Amino acid sequence: MTVYFTSDTHFSDPRVLAIDRRPFASLELHDAALIALWRETVGADDVVWHLGDFARDGPEGRAAAILAQLPGEKHLILGNNDPDSVARDPAWASVRHYAEIEVEGQRLVLCHYPFRTWRDSGKGVIDLHGHSHGRLGPIPRQYDVGVDVWDLRPVTLETIRTRRRRGPPRAVPTAKSRSS
């Protein structure tokens, strides 16, 4: 079992293409690519903490259909764009605004929003967040786990520690270019 973190997938949200300049010609291509990247990364026995802004719920329960396609035990930390219909989906193992967990011996504080300071921040506790789409300057022990920072896919704590990468995502192949 591996633990992954992600946020700000914004499935079914047309605003994400313009606001975040994601490299997709349509929302359908965006959603399909993010689903494919999640499925390439996360296994059925893995755990994923999604730190908010999972999806906008469209017609016919589109968010629930997307969630059902994503492997892993999924936990949701609510973001400012998560509607009640998404939060109430029974596919989530848990739904809350904030969590303190330990992974690989490392204590973590999880919230959609980045904190200026957090419990035991001076004692090595790491803050993982979303919301800022890679636009905040780095501070010690705080990391944006949003898809805009991590190549549009969930990321492990080990990868966060190793790469400490911040900034714009690399170009991601579309479904059409991958089949070429």
pLDDT score of 165: 44
Regions of the chain short of the pLDDT cut 50: 165-180
Contacts 24+ apart (CB under 8 A), 110-118: 110/5, 110/49, 110/51, 110/77, 111/51, 111/77, 112/7, 112/51, 112/52, 112/53, 112/77, 112/78, 112/79, 112/80, 114/142, 114/144, 115/142
Report pLDDT for 170. 46
Domain with 107, as residue range(s), is: 3-179
State the total domains in the chain: 1
pLDDT score of 168: 40
CATH of the domain at 168: 3.60.21.10
Going from the C-alpha of 152 to that of each of 6, 97, 120, 175, 177, the distances in angstroms are 9, 23, 30, 14, 16
Question: Which pLDDT does position 59 carry in this prediction?
Answer: 66
**Would you state the pLDDT for residue 41?**
98
How confident is the model at residue 71, as a pLDDT? 98
DSSP string, 109-138: EEESSPPSS-TTGGGTPEEEE-SSTT-SPP
The pLDDT value given to residue 164: 60
Q: How much is the pLDDT for 176? A: 43
pLDDT at 50: 98
